């Protein structure tokens, strides 16, 4: 069997034995930065020792590669993009909230459910009860669904523990997912996600616990890459959020924020003062906020799955973001309450249908701009010489199809860190 055939016949949805993807990937159309306006036709990627040794038009390939004894993979004129990046998820949690979905369909709002002791706090109960293996198994099947659509980098937040032991358990599960699957995991500490029941009426005391105990301890254990806060009427105030950002700053950790999702209480203004990597959700963002984002270099992360699932009607101000040239990322926000979704491709589709983004903006939103949102643009979201070989081969005629289909997975092959990854149903496409 030739190697070209082998791409077509790799096994079904399960973890592949580690197999090097070193070789010459030729006869491809390539969007190296996930930008359909900058493409390479008749493109070739040379993968060597897990890295991109060369990328460009086949005609320009240096002789050292054409003469080398390298395996050749004929991509069949398919498209190649960088591996996709899901830059905002709450993937690790116990249980689910299908019962609340039924309540909302019967008329209750997301805020009403939260205020009556449901919402985030009900997932906190389930997450505290789940042991680490159970949490891992429940989260792994969601991760597998994301990976099968070409995700090679993911951010995972804590925030359903709200005590030191359970926040630690969540972050350890996130790290273990990164060791067990072909994906790079960045962890975010979201201790300030909601007030745990045992701190009812004592929000300031809880913030003190977050800043003085949880954050330093989990940071010392190497479990935190960034810090997030849910700054909202039903979350934490601007003053409380500021305390968390100050504590993060003392440890040298970058910050980001759940901002302006249900109301505008000044969350983005605060986040930009701390040079936040990103502000996320943004349905209630205004022009003054956008100007501040421009100055601080903060990325806008839009989450159409949450907008859709809680039947929000206020749209994030896309025109303002465009006018001030704010990089826009798109993510699943995968979580049990507002976005029980494990399809990043569906988010591309929704960002276009619901927010009127272009298909090109949507693709940038899960590649180059998602890397920026993580503060990791130097290692993800772009295919260039010297970087790890993280890319996806798509069986599509045009890149617009990545946002066009819903339910069809046109992913043909996934290479992550120079290894073949998880590749679904290749015989058919």
To which H or E segment does residue 134 belong?
A: helix 132-147
The option from ligand NIG, Fe ion, none interacting with 230 (CB < 5 to 8 A, set by class) reads ligand NIG
Give, in order, the Cα–Cα distances in Å from 158 to each of 88, 161, 171, 186, 211: 11, 7, 6, 11, 15
Least distance in angstroms from the C-beta of 338 to ligand NIG: 4
230 binds ligand NIG (CB under 6 A): yes
Task: Reduce the secondary structure of 260-291 to three states and give it as a string.
Answer: CCCCCCCHHHHHHHCCCCEEEECCCCCHHHHH
Among 81, 172, 272, 338, binds ligand NIG (CB under 6 A): 338
Find residue 420's DSSP bridge partners.
Answer: 415
Distance CA(268)–CA(289), nearest Å, equals 6
Question: Would you say 242 or 333 has its CB closer to Fe ion?
Answer: 333
34 binds ligand NIG (CB under 6 A): no
Among 21, 30, 227, 306, binds ligand NIG (CB under 6 A): 306
333 binds ligand NIG (CB under 6 A): yes
Least distance in angstroms from the C-beta of 243 to Fe ion: 20
120 binds ligand NIG (CB under 6 A): yes
The option from ligand NIG, Fe ion, none interacting with 298 (CB < 5 to 8 A, set by class) reads none
CB-based closest residue to ligand NIG? 337
Q: Which residues, including other chains, have CB under 8 Å from residue 336's CB and lie 6 or more apart?
A: 90, 93, 95, 96, 97, 123
* φ, ψ of residue 56 in degrees (nearest 5): 165, -165
Q: Which residues, including other chains, have CB under 8 Å from residue 396's CB and lie 6 or more apart?
A: 78, 79, 402, 410
123 binds ligand NIG (CB under 6 A): yes
158 binds ligand NIG (CB under 6 A): no
Among 22, 86, 167, 333, binds Fe ion (CB under 5 A): 333
Interface map 239-268 toward ligand NIG (x if CB under 6 A): -------------------x--x-------
How many residues line the site for ligand NIG (CB under 6 A)? Answer: 12
From 41, 28, 37, select the one nearest 76 (Cα to Cα).
28
The option from Fe ion, ligand NIG, none interacting with 327 (CB < 5 to 8 A, set by class) reads none
Distance CA(161)–CA(173), nearest Å, equals 12
The option from Fe ion, ligand NIG, none interacting with 211 (CB < 5 to 8 A, set by class) reads none
Find residue 329's DSSP bridge partners.
Answer: 301
Question: What is the per-residue DSSP string for 311-369?
Answer: T--SPP-HHHHHHTT--EEE----BTTTB----HHHHHHHHHHTT---HHHHHHHTTHH
Cα 181 → chain centroid: 15
What does DSSP assign to residue 228? Answer: E
Part in contact with Fe ion (CB under 5 A); list of ranges 198-206, 330-338, 405-413, 420-428: 330-338
Distance CA(391)–CA(51), nearest Å, equals 11
Question: Would you say 170 or 396 has its CB closer to ligand NIG?
Answer: 170
Part in contact with ligand NIG (CB under 6 A); list of ranges 294-302, 315-323, 332-340, 364-372: 332-340
335 binds ligand NIG (CB under 6 A): yes
Least distance in angstroms from the C-beta of 301 to Fe ion: 9
Least distance in angstroms from the C-beta of 176 to Fe ion: 21
The option from Fe ion, ligand NIG, none interacting with 123 (CB < 5 to 8 A, set by class) reads ligand NIG
Among 32, 94, 119, 182, binds ligand NIG (CB under 6 A): 119
Residue the block writes with tokens 């699932």:
309
Least distance in angstroms from the C-beta of 230 to Fe ion: 8
| Contact assessment for residue 248 and residue 210, using Cβ atoms and an 8 Å cutoff | no
Least distance in angstroms from the C-beta of 405 to ligand NIG: 25
Question: Residue 56 is encoded by which pair of tokens?
Answer: 């460009």
- Give the residues lining the site for Fe ion (CB under 5 A): 333
- Give the residues lining the site for ligand NIG (CB under 6 A): 119-120, 123, 230, 258, 261, 306, 333, 335-338
């Amino acid at each position: 069997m030739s190697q070209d055939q082998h791409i077509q016949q790799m096994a079904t949805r399960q973890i592949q034995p580690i197999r090097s993807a070193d070789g010459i990937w030729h006869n491809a159309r390539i969007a190296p930065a996930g930008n359909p306006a900058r493409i390479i036709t008749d493109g070739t990627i040379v993968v060597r020792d897990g890295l991109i040794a060369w990328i460009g038009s086949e005609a320009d390939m240096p002789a050292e590669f054409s003469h080398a004894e390298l395996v050749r993979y004929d991509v069949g004129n398919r498209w190649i993009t960088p591996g996709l990046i899901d830059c905002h998820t709450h993937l690790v949690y116990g249980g689910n909230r299908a019962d609340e979905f039924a309540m909302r369909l019967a008329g209750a709002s997301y805020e009403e459910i939260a205020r009556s002791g449901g919402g985030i706090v009900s997932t906190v109960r389930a997450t505290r009860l789940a042991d680490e293996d159970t949490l891992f198994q429940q989260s792994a099947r969601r991760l597998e669904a994301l990976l099968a659509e070409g995700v090679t980098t993911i951010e995972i937040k804590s925030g359903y523990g709200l005590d030191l032991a359970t926040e630690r358990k969540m972050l350890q599960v996130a790290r273990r997912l990164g060791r067990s699957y072909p994906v790079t995991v960045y962890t975010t500490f979201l201790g300030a996600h909601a007030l745990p029941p045992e701190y009812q009426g004592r929000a300031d005391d809880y913030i003190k616990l977050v800043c003085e105990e949880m954050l330093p301890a989990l940071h010392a254990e190497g479990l935190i890459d960034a810090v997030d806060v849910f700054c909202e009427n039903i979350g934490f105030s601007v003053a409380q959020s500021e305390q968390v950002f100050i504590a993060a700053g003392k440890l040298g950790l970058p910050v980001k924020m759940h901002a302006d999702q249900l109301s505008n209480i000044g969350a983005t203004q605060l986040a930009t003062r701390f040079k936040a990597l990103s502000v996320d959700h943004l349905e209630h963002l205004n022009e003054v906020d956008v100007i501040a984002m421009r100055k601080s270099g903060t990325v806008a992360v839009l989450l159409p799955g949450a907008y859709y699932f809680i039947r929000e009607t206020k749209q994030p101000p896309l025109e303002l973001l465009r006018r001030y040239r704010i990089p826009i990322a798109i993510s699943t926000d995968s979580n049990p309450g507002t976005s029980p979704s494990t399809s990043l491709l569906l988010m591309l589709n929704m960002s276009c249908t619901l927010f009127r983004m272009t298909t090109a903006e949507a693709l940038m939103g899960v590649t180059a701009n998602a890397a920026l949102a993580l503060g990791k643009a130097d290692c993800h979201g772009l295919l260039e010489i010297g970087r790890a070989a993280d890319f996806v081969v798509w069986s599509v005629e045009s890149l617009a199809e990545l946002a066009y289909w819903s339910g069809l997975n046109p992913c043909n092959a996934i290479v992550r860190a120079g290894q073949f990854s998880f590749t679904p149903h290749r015989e058919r496409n």
